[in-house]
Amino acid sequence: MSANSSPTTKLSIRPIQHRDLEAIESLIIENAEEKPNYLSVLFKNQLQYVRRWFGVLKVLSLFPNPLRHQFWAYVAEQIDSDTNELSVQGLIQVAPFNSSRTTWRVEQVLVHPQQSLGDPQGVGSQLLRHCFESIWEARTWMIEVNIHQKATLALYRQHGFQPLAEMTYWSLSPELLQELAEDIPDLPNLLPMSNADAHLLYQLDCVSMPPLLRQVYDRHIQDFKVGLLNSFGRKVQNWYGHAEMTRGYVFEPQRKAAIGHFELTLCKDGSRPHQARLTVHPAYTWLYPKLLSKMAQITQKYPPQALELTSADYQHERQEFLEQLKAERVEHTLLMSRSVWHKIRETKLEKLQFTEVLQNLQAVPRTPIPSRMSMLQWPFNSVQKTSTLEQPTESNPSPESSNQTSNNSSDPSENGHHA
């Protein structure tokens, strides 16, 4: 039974607080037992970092700064009117996907196991609607969900999400990384990454994805630059998380463009796998074995751990190469998007009767606006204008007077002779 179907309970949605972290951890454990997936494991690791720095993140969320939406989440709290007991029934975490905040991403949606995630009036739907209504600057929404979670897919489809691409998560074992590290890659133009090279990465990002995906991402040059506050936040996070980040790109001197880019997040203590992000120009797919060999060489300096990276369904060469390496498929997800212009059925408008609409219609009083004088009413000669000025009280002269005036003015020479 959903929370809003009971007359003694009421559901309220509010920003997350520190006292909600324990209840959220229990929700993660309960959902992981029923529907284990790779994204839930990442969220659980992130929650440990949030617990340690919750006060700092809360202060940063109060004013505009690059780290304001580092952990932006809402919880659905159920209030029992009889016992006044509070219980967390769900959580949603969202984050801006680009620097202009035109595209937002739903990172996680969790509900209590007793709640139905596919219910159109359930906790999950109310959490999504709250984000759609409160975050007004978002023009496009994105989500990533496991293809085997049918209830979650049904929830997102009910709210207008459409498929964009299929993502596959791969894992390269330490033994495979050691074999790849034995090959010495020939990359003379491999350069370290800096903010001065952001325009090169922006061009590489545009040509490496389909037009529809590029439109949804809506990334610009600023998205590939690392600000001072972001750089400090990454260093603090890597220091406490025992991680280190390495970035580099391959430069093509003839075209003066970047043709490959990688970003490695390395674990120093061996507690979790290494993570990699790889971008290759579609015309230079021969870079895949060389860049993977280079990343494998870098991982040899740290405790042996697996390397995780992703591939999309439009990157056929990458998937074929990883299959040839006999890499392990960890998870298969579906990337979906929703535009704010998608029409959602509103329950309140369905109950609104046509008679109620007519009662609210009222006449709006308007002040008449003076129009300009028409050219047809303008005098054709100066004499008629003079006669009009001499007789201001006669608004409508008679035909006889007008004829007499015209006769007098038709012979000016005769009038002058008698004078």
pLDDT band (50, 70, 90) for residue 405: very low
One domain for residues 13 and 154: yes
- Structure confidence at residue 235 (pLDDT): 72
- Structure confidence at residue 36 (pLDDT): 60
One domain for residues 223 and 143: no
Which of the listed ranges 144-153, 226-235, 318-327, 396-405 does the model predict with the highest average pLDDT?
318-327
- Is 416 among the domain residues? no
**CB neighbours of 388 closer than 8 A, spacing ≥ 6?**
379
Higher pLDDT, 176 or 48: 176
CATH of the domain at 249: 3.40.630.30
Enumerate the β-bridge partners of residue 267. 243
3-class DSSP state of 37? coil
Q: Which of 189, 198, 207, 223 is nearest to 281 (CA)?
A: 207
Is the alpha carbon torsion for 249, 250, 251, 255 positive or negative? negative
- Is 93 among the domain residues? yes
Q: Which of 140, 159, 178 is the last residue of a domain?
A: 159
- For 37, list phi and psi in degrees, rounded to 5: -155, 165
- Is 398 among the domain residues? no
Whether the pLDDT of residue 96 is over 90: the answer is yes
Q: Which of 165, 207, 170 is nearest to 312 (CA)?
A: 165
- Is 32 among the domain residues? yes
- Structure confidence at residue 62 (pLDDT): 83
One domain for residues 60 and 201: no
Q: Which of 101, 127, 159 is the last residue of a domain?
A: 159
What are the pLDDT digits (tens) for 110-142?
888 887 777 778 899 999 999 999 999 999 999
- Is 53 among the domain residues? yes
One domain for residues 179 and 291: yes
Whether the pLDDT of residue 220 is over 50: the answer is yes
**CB neighbours of 302 closer than 8 A, spacing ≥ 6?**
266, 267, 268, 270, 274
10 Å Cβ neighbour count for 330?
16
Q: Rounded to whole angstroms, how far apart are CA atoms 117 and 80?
A: 21
One domain for residues 152 and 177: no
User: Which tokens sit at 239?
Assistant: 């220091």
User: Which tokens sit at 373?
Assistant: 């004088």
- Is 269 among the domain residues? yes
Which range of residues forms the domain containing residue 85? 3-159
Q: Cβ distance 119 to 2 under 8 Å? A: yes
One domain for residues 135 and 284: no
What are the pLDDT digits (tens) for 187-209?
989 999 999 999 999 999 999 99
One domain for residues 198 and 92: no
- Structure confidence at residue 115 (pLDDT): 79
One domain for residues 181 and 284: yes
**Average pLDDT estimate for 169-187:** 93
Higher pLDDT, 151 or 346: 151
Which of the listed ranges 74-88, 257-271, 361-375, 405-419 does the model predict with the highest average pLDDT?
257-271
- Structure confidence at residue 333 (pLDDT): 94
Q: Which of 334, 366, 384 is the last residue of a domain?
A: 334
Buried b (16+ CB within 10 A) or exposed e, 158-185: bbbbeebbebbbbbbbbebbeebbeeeb
10 Å Cβ neighbour count for 348?
6
Query: The pTM is what?
Result: 0.74
One domain for residues 138 and 178: no
Mean pLDDT for the chain overall: 80
3-state secondary structure string across 53-115: CHHHHHHHCCCCCCCCCCCEEEEEEEEECCCCCEEEEEEEEEEECCCCCCEEEEEEEEECCCC
- Is 343 among the domain residues? no
One domain for residues 213 and 328: yes
CA angle in degrees (0–180, nearest 5) for 224-228-232: 105
Residue with tokens 């006060």: 55
What are the pLDDT digits (tens) for 256-275?
999 999 999 998 888 889 99
* Domain count of the fold of the chain: 2
CA angle in degrees (0–180, nearest 5) for 205-206-212: 120
One domain for residues 125 and 227: no
- Is 185 among the domain residues? yes
One domain for residues 10 and 144: yes
**Average pLDDT estimate for 368-384:** 53
- For 175, list phi and psi in degrees, rounded to 5: -65, -40
What are the pLDDT digits (tens) for 276-306?
999 999 999 999 999 999 999 999 999 999 9
pLDDT band (50, 70, 90) for residue 415: very low
Distance of alpha carbon 85 from the chain centroid: 35
